[in-house]
């Protein structure tokens, strides 16, 4: 649980500082813009992101994703500017029952 809290704090730092986050998720390297961090309606720590590049299980390298924090590894802040909020962003994400931070 401590690792997940640390990942959540890093995601919030990316959101607040306006930079992209690079991470490994589902076996792929990805660069994302964090829009919200919280708890999903299924009860999992998560983040709503816009993926700007990288791999994907769904073969969609760009676009909106809900990522659970327990699947995120090797996460670090980049110096790349985030262009959040992206078109289609909806505050107070309905996929989250609790939101810790959002744009």
Mean local confidence (pLDDT), 63-67:
96
Q: In the structure, what pLDDT confidence band is assigned to residue 4 with cuts at 50, 70 and 90?
A: confident
Q: In the chain, what percentage of residues exceed pLDDT 90?
A: 82
* Res 20 pLDDT > 70: yes
Confidence of residue 60 (pLDDT cuts 50, 70, 90): confident
Cβ(82)–Cβ(103) under 8 Å? no
pLDDT tens digits for range 26-46: 999 999 999 999 999 999 999
Residues 1, 4: Cα–Cα separation, whole Å = 5
Number of structural domains found in the chain: 1
> pTM for the complete prediction?
0.94
Q: What is the DSSP code (8-state) at residue 85?
A: S
> What digits encode the pLDDT tens for the residues 71-100?
998 899 999 999 999 999 999 999 999 999
Q: Which residue segment(s) compose the domain that 97 sits in?
A: 2-102
Contacts of residue 89, defined as CB under 8 A and 6 or more positions apart, other chains included, come to 35, 50, 103
Domain harbouring 93, CATH code: 2.30.30
């Amino acid at each position: 649980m401590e690792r997940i809290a640390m990942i959540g704090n890093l995601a919030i730092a990316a959101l607040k500082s306006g930079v992209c986050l690079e991470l490994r998720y589902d076996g792929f390297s990805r660069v994302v813009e964090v829009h919200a961090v919280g708890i999903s309606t299924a009860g999992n720590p998560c983040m709503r992101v816009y993926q700007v590049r990288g791999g994907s299980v769904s073969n969609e390298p760009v676009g909106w994703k809900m990522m659970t924090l327990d699947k995120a590894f090797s996460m670090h802040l980049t110096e790349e500017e985030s262009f959040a909020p992206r078109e289609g962003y909806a505050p107070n994400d309905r996929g989250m029952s609790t939101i810790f931070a959002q744009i």
